[in-house]
Amino acid sequence: MYLIPIIVGTIAFAVLAPVVGCLLAGLDRKLSARMQGRVGPPILQPYYDVRKLLEKDRAAVNNVEGTYITCALVFAILAGGIFFGGGNLLLSVFVLTLSSLFFILAAYCTRSPYSEVGAAREALQIMAEEPMSLFIAVAFFLATGSFDSCAAFGLEIPAIGATWIAFLGFLFILTIKMRKSPFDLSYSHHAHQELVKGVTTEMSGRTLAKVEVMHWCENVLALGWIGLFFVWGNPVSLVVAVVAALAAFFLEILIDNNFARVKWQLMLKSAWAVALVAGGINIAVLMYL
């Protein structure tokens, strides 16, 4: 019985998330361009890019890279399905980590120096953001009594009321999750601060297209987490959640365009400090007060 919503959620997420994610990516490029005083590409440009990638010749540096990326994409979609299907938040976090692991393996397996640097940085990004991802799930559990995302619909007041400190911490690591500057160490879309092309250096054609789609799905899932904290027992709250998620998205674009990439030491230390303070304080307050 428990599995049916997850299956339905996964199918729905597999269809809808790429569409929404693609539009968001187009919006991102448009807004960034406007912030930099450019006109920017059409809103559907990310879609055109991926379509073109899909038409490219199949060539790769080895025969396992594609398999790893397919696994990464499938598990990213599954993580989204678990989240939006009302499933367990921790399971969703863990499955997303599995997806990232396959992404990292795909970069490592090429044994290209640039790709390996990107892979190591991607692993470091996961290490930097993972504690806060767990703490926000624990905070949600303490506020609602359940680790299932569907529990948000049974609330009188949205979870943000009791978890706003942890939520601020989550906003901080959202930049890492969405790979936005200043924390875009592994894979940047700002050409001037990238070491060749980071983690995707050796990926091309279909493989790169899958990476793009996975990235869209990840972004939708990350924004879903933002929305989760603004949902309560009233259907109107869904509108509030979408508005909150879009506001967070706009904030990320603003940050992205105003900061240069930092070194890994600063990213790791700041992300862990934020997780320790925001997560620790919020969890302690919820437990003991």
Contact residues toward another protein (CB under 8 A) are: 1-3, 6, 57-64, 66-68, 71, 78, 88, 90-91, 94-95, 97-98, 101, 104-117, 119-120, 123-124, 126-128, 130-132, 134-135, 138, 141-142, 147, 196, 201-202, 265, 268, 272, 275-276, 279-280, 283-284, 287-288
The H or E element spanning position 257 is helix 237-258
For the bound state, the minimum distance from the C-beta of residue 91 to another protein, rounded and expressed in Å, comes to 6
Q: Which string of b and e fits 2-31 if b means at least 16 CB within 10 Å? A: eeebbeebbeebbeebbeebbebbbbbbbb
Rounded Cα distance between 100 and 126, Å, is 8
For the bound state, the minimum distance from the C-beta of residue 136 to another protein, rounded and expressed in Å, comes to 10
Contact 201, 118 (CB under 8 A): yes
Nearer to another protein, 98 or 251 (CB): 98
Contact 79, 221 (CB under 8 A): yes
Nearer to another protein, 36 or 265 (CB): 265
Tell me how crowded residue 168 is: count the other CB atoms within 10 A of its CB. Answer: 13
Nearer to another protein, 65 or 256 (CB): 65
Rounded Cα distance between 148 and 15, Å, is 22
Nearer to another protein, 141 or 249 (CB): 141
Nearer to another protein, 36 or 63 (CB): 63
For the bound state, the minimum distance from the C-beta of residue 86 to another protein, rounded and expressed in Å, comes to 12
Nearer to another protein, 207 or 219 (CB): 207
For the bound state, the minimum distance from the C-beta of residue 45 to another protein, rounded and expressed in Å, comes to 25
Nearer to another protein, 39 or 288 (CB): 288
For the bound state, the minimum distance from the C-beta of residue 215 to another protein, rounded and expressed in Å, comes to 19
Residue type, 272: W
Best CA proximity match to 65, nearest among 124, 115, 123, 17:
115
For the bound state, the minimum distance from the C-beta of residue 244 to another protein, rounded and expressed in Å, comes to 25
Rounded Cα distance between 180 and 255, Å, is 8
The 3-state DSSP class for residue 72 equals helix
Could you tell me the CA-to-CA distances from 287 to 71, 80, 88, 139, 175 in Å, in that order? 38, 29, 21, 9, 28
